[in-house]
Structure 1
Amino acid sequence: MNPDDTLAAVPAADVLAASGAMLQKQLYAIFTKPVNGLGPVFANIEAHLAFQVDLEREGVMFAAGPMWTDDEQRWEGEGMVVVRAASRDAAIAIAERDPMHKAGARSFHVRPWLVNEGSVTVKLDYSTQTFSIA
């Protein structure tokens, strides 16, 4: 990869070559936002959450949750869902199945996300049979 301040984009192949020793796990981020306020969102929230839990049980869901306002004080109905899928088209198909999107309460946009860096820590205490994730 040749760094050049005039470049607007770098081919994916160059990014993959530069990060070849890293994880390179391809996931898909589904950004979702209300279409007509929070009323329709709340009308579909139970079916949406049940769908999310199903994705989790199927091993499709990587992570999901609400996105706060920038001041971290409110929720305006936006969320992000990260899924494991074979392609962006497959991730779009998953998003289209969400009852929230099927009802027209939210719109969505899917972005491919290459995970290269990070960590997950799980602490398991045998004596109390509890765990925590950091």
Structure 2
Amino acid sequence: MPAWDDYKAEAKSRGALAHELYAVVSTPTGDPAQVKANLPAHLAYQAKQEAAGHLFLAGPVSDESGALMEGMGLIIYQADSLEAARALAEADPMHASGARSFVLRRWLINEGGLTLSLRLSGQSVALG
């Protein structure tokens, strides 16, 4: 199995974007009251990271059926390195307090596209 940097170089050589982001899968550690208590600080932290250009996307994730919200979340960071992304995740009040644990992964963006529709007076945003 190739090392990460070798894989990234190979992807670029074949014309892929090879843009590195960092995916954080955040899971409650068991006490819903602790998660709720840390929510305001977590949201403020996320807003700060968004303003700084570190937060790409974030939000809750359903269970495997798609029907239930079990508290799992997905956070995508833009950072200079895996270590910098880990520091961002560790500083999140949810993780720092122990209300949630996380798994961090590098994510290499190679293909796909994004269309954004923004309607200011309609107060809507649509991703396509």
TM-score bracket for this pair, using the shorter chain length? 0.7 to 0.9
Structure 2 CA distance, aligned partners of 1:31 and 1:127? Answer: 34
Aligned twin of 2:44: 50
- The structure with the larger Rg is 1
Q: TM-score, normalised by structure 1?
A: 0.82
- Summarize the Cα distance change of 1:40–1:17 in structure 2 as closer, same or farther, 3 Å threshold: same
Q: TM-score, normalised by structure 2?
A: 0.86
Say if 2:59 is the partner of 1:77: no
Could you tell me how far 1:16 is from its partner in structure 2?
2.9
- 1:1-134 alignment to 2 at 5 Å? 9-12=1-4, 13-14=6-7, 16-20=9-13, 21-124=15-118, 132-134=126-128
Could you tell me how far 1:74 is from its partner in structure 2?
1.5
Identify which range, 37-46 or 76-85, moves more after superposition: 37-46
Unmatched runs of 5 consecutive residues or more in structure 1:
1-8
Structure 2 CA distance, aligned partners of 1:121 and 1:39? Answer: 38
Structure 1 CA distance, aligned partners of 2:121 and 2:103? Answer: 45
Could you tell me how far 1:66 is from its partner in structure 2?
0.6
Structure 1 CA distance, aligned partners of 2:82 and 2:17? Answer: 19
Q: Percent identity between the aligned chains? A: 39
Figure out how many residues of one structure are paired with residues of the other and give that number: 126
Unmatched runs of 5 consecutive residues or more in structure 2:
none
Identify which range, 34-43 or 58-67, moves more after superposition: 34-43
Deviations 1:8-66 (A, max 9, x none): x3333145314421111011111111112322111111111111111111111111111
Structure 1 CA distance, aligned partners of 2:95 and 2:118? Answer: 37
Query: Aligned letter for 1:37?
Result: D
Superposed CA RMSD: 2.2
